[in-house]
Amino acid sequence: MDIHEYQAKEILANFGVMVPQGALAYSPEQAAYRAREMGGDRWIVKAQVHAGGRGKAGGVKLCASDSEIQAATENMFGRKLVTHQTGPEGKGIYRVYVEAAVPIDREFYVGFVLDRSSQRVMIVASAEGGMEIEDISAEKPDSIVRSTVEPAVGLQEFQCREIAFKLGLRAALVQQMVRTLQGCYRAFTELDATMVEINPLVVTGDDRILALDAKMTFDDNALFRHPQVAELRDKSQEDPRESRAADRGLSYVGLDGNIGCIVNGAGLAMATMDTIKLAGGEPANFLDIGGGATPERVAKAFRLVMSDKNVQAVLVNIFAGINRCDWVAEGVVQALREVEIDVPVIVRLAGTNVEAGQKILAQSGLPIIRATTLMEAAERAVGAWKNDLNQATRVRAV
């Protein structure tokens, strides 16, 4: 789960990370009022969307008066901000963050991520702040500083000092950097985050180290332990299909293809998508219905997949271990009788109670295309989709 910049800054500030003074606004008038409350003569207005690259897309504006603030926010509210991370559909702007401008002396990049190879939290830092980390690694790889944290002892002061010196910080600023890095690490570990990124982390003209921008991502599976974090979720920034799936306890990622996938297990779902590609098709989604594939759960999955108007065939691929094939078959039959599905449905079952599951499908009287192997299922799904596509083309031609 992602959160907004202002939410990340509030969290990090509670862990001792210094941030500029700022306030949230939901209208141009409120934005101007927030600036007057803070005082000063220059402010930054930032669109609050779950995406990077806001500045290049017009989502960050430097303002020097009430009229400039109102003009900037008028231009932002209600429109879609399109960046390299949002794709062409963009993200809607419904709130802005007004922040007091600060004099910047130097900019840095600091990120905390999970390194799967070492199974440790890794700190990634660079003296080239303000750039995306992908650009930094491509253009100036030598500027990147990496340090892994031993979980048994946590982030030590000597590691923080070593990072600070490698970034070229003056001795007078090292202790501030130590507090900043340790605060980020505590927020990362105590709240089950999967990423903390400050870009840029700046040294101001009066020798303060401030988080000028901040991003945090959290482990969805651990949100039950942190209700205060779960409440920060903004569904307006999410794919509506993924929001509906999360609300129903399903793991779903929307894609751009046209063959819907209903699979149990993340690994099998990935293999299913790869096999569809190999057979010449494009998957429309990643959908893992999990271990408890009851008939009701399968029916929910069908409704979710069919809410995507691009879906032109549905492939159900179940390998039953914890699951039972007869439950899945009952769910498929129930879904086809309850949900309006006008596309080919291909079902491949294997594992526990597979014979009973196949019998339920055969006796249902429904136009279900059955397969015994994953490759056969993918080929039949792609073939059914292409056949329907050819029929639609002939109808239009007539």
pLDDT digits (tens, 9 = 90+) for 196-239: 999 999 999 899 999 999 999 999 889 999 999 999 988 877 77
CATH number at residue 55: 3.30.1490.20
Please report the pLDDT score of residue 123 as a whole number.
Answer: 95
* Residue located via tokens 């996938």: 261
* pLDDT at residue 397 tops 50: no
Tell whether 258 is in a known binding site: no
**How far is Cα 61 from Cα 46, in angstroms, rounded to an integer?**
7
Please report the pLDDT score of residue 293 as a whole number.
Answer: 61
Buried b (16+ CB within 10 A) or exposed e, 282-305: ebbbbbbbeeebebebbbbbbebb
Does residue 273 share a domain with residue 139? Answer: no
Tell whether 213 is in a known binding site: yes
Q: Considering its fold, how many domains does the chain have in total?
A: 3
pLDDT digits (tens, 9 = 90+) for 78-128: 888 888 777 777 888 999 999 999 999 999 999 999 998 889 999 999 988
Does residue 341 share a domain with residue 254? Answer: yes
pLDDT digits (tens, 9 = 90+) for 297-311: 778 888 888 888 888
Q: Which domain holds residue 74?
A: 21-101
**Which of 50-59, 125-134, 161-170, 366-375 is most confident?**
161-170
**How far is Cα 31 from Cα 44, in angstroms, rounded to an integer?**
10
Tell whether 54 is in a known binding site: yes
CATH number at residue 300: 3.40.50.261
Assigned domain for 264 exists: yes
Tell whether 53 is in a known binding site: yes
Assigned domain for 296 exists: yes
Catalytic residues: 109, 197
Q: pLDDT band at 386, cuts 50/70/90?
A: confident
The conformation of residue 86, written as its DSSP 8-state character, comes to T
Does residue 288 share a domain with residue 203? Answer: no
Contacts with 235 (C-beta within 8 Å, 6 or more apart), sequence order:
243
Please report the pLDDT score of residue 238 as a whole number.
Answer: 75
Q: Dihedrals φ, ψ of 102, to 5°?
A: -125, 150
Residue that wins the pLDDT comparison between 392 and 159: 159
Among residues 86, 101, 116, which one ends one of the domains? Answer: 101
Tell whether 321 is in a known binding site: no
Tokens of 337: 């009788």
Mean pLDDT of all residues belonging to the chain: 88
Tell whether 235 is in a known binding site: no
Query: How far is CA 214 from each of CA 20, 98, 110, 121, 344, rounded to the nearest angstrom?
Result: 11, 14, 10, 18, 46
* Residue located via tokens 């691929």: 317
Does residue 357 share a domain with residue 305? Answer: yes
Please report the pLDDT score of residue 247 as a whole number.
Answer: 67
Assigned domain for 395 exists: no
Among residues 208, 238, 268, which one ends one of the domains? Answer: 238
Q: pLDDT band at 390, cuts 50/70/90?
A: low
Contacts with 156 (C-beta within 8 Å, 6 or more apart), sequence order:
none
In total, the chain counts a number of residues equal to 398
pTM (two decimals): 0.76
